[in-house]
Amino acid sequence: MRFVYFTHSLVSCWNNGNAHFQRGVLRSLRKLGHDVAACEPAHGWSLANLVADQGRAPVEAFGRMFAGLPSLTYSCVDELARAVDGADVVIVHEWNDPAIVSEIGRLRRQMRFTLLFHDTHHRAVSEPDAIRHFDLSGYDAILAFGAALARIYERWGWTGRSFVWHEAADTALFTPPAEERHRHGAVWIGNWGEGERTAEIENFLLDPAQRAGVTLDVHGVRYPQEARAMLDRYGARYHGWIANAAVPDTFAGHAMTVHVPRRYYSRVLPGIPTIRVFEALACGIPLISAPWQDSEGLFRTGTDYLLARTGEEMTTHMRMLGHEPGLARTLAQAGLSRIRSRHSCDVRAAELLGIVAGLRSTPAAA
């Protein structure tokens, strides 16, 4: 089958974690023999910021690293018909202009491909009117990256057509190092954002690392001056943007990493972890999470990762991992096994094929 995925950007992962999973699942579909292509706006926000921040080198690096994944660009809605011509399945991500979402729905009525809307954000609860503004009348189904989000779409009339499709690790890229090296300190990779977890970063990352005597490296973008000042106060070393393809090597040099969920995912949409959880465990690095409710049983708390309910408990866990290599090794091996058996992009590609097959077998998708 031919899959066409409309994304904000496949090329740029600058403040665009969506690109991680999209690259991985398209690569998995291609490995299964399917024809795949991504479509993105020619002058998208993420790509523009990446080039302004880092120049053209990351764009060229993407071309080398993901040579089998074509990313086509468009400048206006009039170009969309050609992009979807011959497609069997079209997936449109939530981070697209409403006019693009609407036009692809219109084209679906003419061309009869299976059309899916993919939501990997919290706007359904934080900005519901923005999501309700999308014209999804031409769409066959919703792909929601957690059960809590899928239930919201069901309340909006998508019962029977709202599918849970979690993100996952691209295990072709995220894997333990071929040769184990010296690991030291903690690393946190995440964007500062709009203050959605400022207090959590201080209470569950910066302060515990300082108290535990663990060196801390921080990577990410959109850190305002006050955020950098906070990092400096706690002795954390800030490194700025990091290409997602470089993350496995960074994990390989550190003894632990931390999951600090955004507030919406810890309080309103439980069961949805950041993709960094999948990627970290796939790399065999011990992970400690700030408070988060794994309501869907994706992982085994205390086996695949450690949960810290308070800042004091986070400090204790950091010290423990720094002094008990046997525990760290056992934790990393369990997390890696869980990813490979349940949460790889290969697994998600198979799930997607099952969803598509089910939709195509019903009269509504015929």
Amino acid at 360: R
Question: Within 10 Å of residue 177's Cβ, how many Cβ atoms?
Answer: 15
- 96 in the same domain as 69: yes
- Mean pLDDT computed over 233-259: 98
The residue written with tokens 């006019």 in the block is 99
- 333 in the same domain as 210: yes
**Averaged pLDDT of the chain:** 96
List pLDDT tens digits, range 329-362. 999 999 999 999 999 999 999 999 999 999 999 8
154: in domain: yes
How many distinct structural domains can be found in the chain? 2
- 61 in the same domain as 51: yes
Residues 6+ away with beta carbon under 8 Å from 113: 84, 87, 88, 89, 90
What pLDDT, on a 0 to 100 scale, did the predictor assign at position 364? 54
Q: Containing domain of residue 264, as a range?
A: 186-342
For the chain, give the number of residues.
366
> Using 50, 70 and 90 to split pLDDT, how confident is the model at 366?
very low
- 351 in the same domain as 285: no
List pLDDT tens digits, range 170-210. 999 999 999 999 999 999 999 997 778 999 999 999 999 99
What pLDDT, on a 0 to 100 scale, did the predictor assign at position 220? 97
CATH number at residue 277: 3.40.50.2000
- Mean pLDDT computed over 128-136: 93
Question: Within 10 Å of residue 75's Cβ, how many Cβ atoms?
Answer: 9
- 204 in the same domain as 86: no
- Please list, residue by residue across 120-153, b when 16 or more beta carbons sit within 10 angstroms of its beta carbon and e when fewer do: bbbbbeeeeeebeebebebbbbbbbbbbbbbbbb
Answer whether 112's CB lies under 8 Å from 138's CB.
no
Q: Is the pLDDT of residue 365 over 50?
A: no
The residue written with tokens 């999948």 in the block is 278
Answer whether 13's CB lies under 8 Å from 243's CB.
yes
- 240 in the same domain as 293: yes
175: in domain: no
Q: Is the pLDDT of residue 83 over 60?
A: yes
- 355 in the same domain as 272: no
266: in domain: yes
List pLDDT tens digits, range 93-124. 999 999 999 999 999 999 989 999 999 999 99
Q: Give the global pTM.
A: 0.96
- Mean pLDDT computed over 235-261: 97
Q: Is the pLDDT of residue 138 over 60?
A: yes
306's tokens: 């450690």
215, with CB counted inside 10 A (0-12, 13-18, 19+), is middle
